[in-house]
Amino acid sequence: MKAETLLVPFKYLNPSRITGPIFEKELRVSSRRKRNYVLRFVYLAILLITVLLIWKSEVRMSGNVAFRVSRLSRAGLTITGIVVLVQFFAAQILAVIMLSNSISDEVYHKTLGALMSTPINSFQIVMGKLLSKLLQIALLICLTLPILGIVRVFGGVPWDYLLKSLCVTLTAVIFAGMLSLNISINHKHAYVVIIQTVLMLFLLYILLPWFGAWISYEYLDVREIVIARHVALINPFFLMMALLEELFRPGNTGISLFGWGWHCLYMLAFSGLLFLRAIIVVRKKALLQACGQVKSAGRKWKFFASSSKGQKIRRVKGQPLLWKELRKSSFKINSIKTMLSVVFIIGCLLFSYYMGSREKFLDDNETHIAYCMLFLILGVFVTTVFSATTITSEKVSRSLPVLLTTLITDWQIIRAKTLGVFRRTIPVWSLLFVHITIFILLRYIHPSTLLQVAIIVFGATMLVVSSGIFFSSMLKNTTSAVIANIIFAAVVWAGIPLAAMIIGELSGMNDELFEFVIAFNPFFHIGDVMDNASGSRAVKTLAELDYNFLIARWGYWGTTTFLAFTAAVYAAVGMLFLTLAKGNLRRKIF
């Protein structure tokens, strides 16, 4: 009896009381999923290939000893900087994606209410879901530690840089994961959670610091270095860039040295607040579900609220699946939160235009390159996520087997899903075309760019839509399909150009291989189009426009023809993906 009394304090200190059985269950499930092992293999393979290519390009064994030692040190700095940046961005993206359906799956499958009838509490539910996903990301981060440890032997890499970058990465990952988990409580679709989380992070890390810095500089007369230090306290991206600059040029910046520890504490504090909110909201949702109450749709404005009384039945015209996909909305503007979010985004865009007109840089081509590049990245990202959910949503809801027993053919299903994604991404792509139209009317952009930008958008959209449908037909769940499609887009438009640049240097081709590969990149296309047809060049005639696509210099029609050829190549690859997706429909039903 005395021994049992002595063991009572250790029972409360047992970690299993904090994590609960949810954590153990998630670990068992994760250990049986092939995608986690494939993800680790791909991640490590990319890092090793990058290290080998940088090593080959930086290290020269010829020359005296001092020269070789200096090249080793330079190679160590370059490898460390690239590996840390890749780890920083990839870990946050994976945290957002992995936790996008952590709570929504329990709500959607009606298991959250059943959990409340057990000794498991809401704290253990949230903690188990969070730690199980973060553990998978921590394993990926641990894969980079041996590489960084070996590279540091070459010299030039201070140990405190590795410590600072690791702490900043971990706190940023925890915050991004907690934000995604909170949003997933109220949304059952993973793609909605991913998009909302990315937009929220963009607001917190880009828009608010930029607006606060402008107010401080214009009206409070605060020095730029002071503003930068305060921004670094709450912005991990800004702090990571400052750390990287300090790595290559020690002593040139004092931003990263000021309060990086306080930054980590602030991020953990904000994550703790999100954690408490998640516990409270999960408990409310679970109790409502346990009592048999239907989840409320939230407060709606009467103007947007739909009523079944007196509502006309919509007749299905044509193919039923295509009819349904073309009428599926991308974002339901039926609540105050969604409406305020849309108004806020439009307000931020208009405010940036106001600032541009006040500072008189709207007539610069660099400004429109930045705007169009941002809109293109946003459109490609949303399209990549939407397309990867097309078939997996049917698998999760168990409606795909029923769909395959109807008279609808496989090609009709693929075509309906493809056109549905094009239809649902129109609001996002409209930001790019509205921007171009406005500044065409203001004579800051040449009118001919509308055709060229439309061709660029069509080619890029066709590729990511078809690849997303392919991965969605091949994989079982939405999370895996979204991760695969994002990795595919990153490899095609970022990884291949980087590899071409390094291989070109190793093979003695200089920049020729890189120029050839980048000439087929839509992000380079839109940058070159805006560089040569905006600003002071917006008033030129078609004959005076001169484009430089690295491999050749063409006029307007020659450039447009090349863009159309690139879009045709992307469309041909897309048709190949769609053909493969059609073959997967009846082979991978569940």
Residue type at position 205: Y
pLDDT given at position 62: 56
Q: What does each C-alpha distance from 186 to 60, 267, 299 come to in angstroms?
A: 56, 23, 13
Q: Once rounded to an integer, what is the mean pLDDT over residues 448-461?
A: 93
pLDDT exceeds 50 at position 514: yes
pLDDT given at position 194: 84
Cβ-contact 569, 466 below 8 angstroms: no
Q: What does each C-alpha distance from 100 to 104, 257, 474 come to in angstroms?
A: 8, 34, 20
What digits encode the pLDDT tens for the residues 135-179?
889 988 888 888 887 777 766 678 788 888 899 999 999 999 999
- Give the E-state strand segments of 63-150 in sequence order: none
Question: How large a percentage of the chain has pLDDT more than 90?
Answer: 20
Question: How large a percentage of the chain has pLDDT more than 70?
Answer: 81
Judged by DSSP in three states, 392 sits in helix
Exposure class string for 238-268: b at 16+ Cβ within 10 A, else e? bbbbbbbebbeeeeebebbebbbeebbeebe
Round to whole Å and give the CA distance between 480 and 471.
8
Number of neighbouring beta carbons within 10 Å of residue 290: 15
Q: Once rounded to an integer, what is the mean pLDDT over residues 112-141?
A: 84
Cβ-contact 128, 25 below 8 angstroms: yes
- Locate tokens 């039945």: which residue? 313
- Locate tokens 């359906």: which residue? 101
Round to whole Å and give the CA distance between 207 and 266.
19
Q: What does each C-alpha distance from 522 to 211, 236, 454, 516 come to in angstroms?
A: 30, 29, 11, 13
pLDDT given at position 340: 72
Cβ-contact 391, 400 below 8 angstroms: yes
Residue with the bigger pLDDT between 498 and 468: it is 468
Name the phi and psi angles at 445, rounded to 5: -130, 140
Residue type at position 564: A
pLDDT given at position 304: 40
62: phi > 0 → left, psi -120 to 50 → alpha, else beta; which? Answer: beta
Round to whole Å and give the CA distance between 478 and 492.
21
pLDDT exceeds 70 at position 388: yes
Weakest-pLDDT range from 152-156, 235-239, 512-516:
152-156
Q: Where are the domains of the chain?
A: 15-290, 360-585
Show Cβ contacts of residue 331 under 8 Å, excluding neighbours closer than 6 positions: 338, 342, 427
Token representation of residue 523: 């992000």
Nearest to 235 by CA among 208, 211, 257, 215: 208
Q: What secondary structure, in 3-state letters, does 404-464 show?
A: HCCCCCHHHHHHHHHHHHHHHCHHHHHHHHHHHHHHHHCCCECCCHHHHHHHHHHHHHHHH
Nearest to 17 by CA among 170, 127, 134, 157: 127
508: phi > 0 → left, psi -120 to 50 → alpha, else beta; which? Answer: left
Show Cβ contacts of residue 46 under 8 Å, excluding neighbours closer than 6 positions: 86, 495
Q: Residues for the chain: how many in total?
A: 590
Task: Kindly indicate the confidence band of residue 69, based on its pLDDT and cuts at 50, 70 and 90.
Answer: low
Element (H, E) at 547: strand 547-548
Q: What is the mean pLDDT of the chain?
A: 80
Rank 208-212, 267-271, 352-356 by mean pLDDT and report only the highest.
Answer: 267-271
Q: What secondary structure, in 3-state letters, does 316-379 show?
A: CCCCHHHHHHHCCCCCCCCCHHHHHHHHHHHHHHHHHHHHHHHHCCCCCHHHHHHHHHHHHHHH
Q: Once rounded to an integer, what is the mean pLDDT over residues 571-576?
A: 96
Task: Kindly indicate the confidence band of residue 311, based on its pLDDT and cuts at 50, 70 and 90.
Answer: low
Q: What is the pTM of this model?
A: 0.79
pLDDT given at position 337: 62
Q: Once rounded to an integer, what is the mean pLDDT over residues 472-500?
A: 86
Q: Once rounded to an integer, what is the mean pLDDT over residues 86-93?
A: 90
Task: Kindly indicate the confidence band of residue 4, based on its pLDDT and cuts at 50, 70 and 90.
Answer: low
Round to whole Å and give the CA distance between 147 and 182.
34
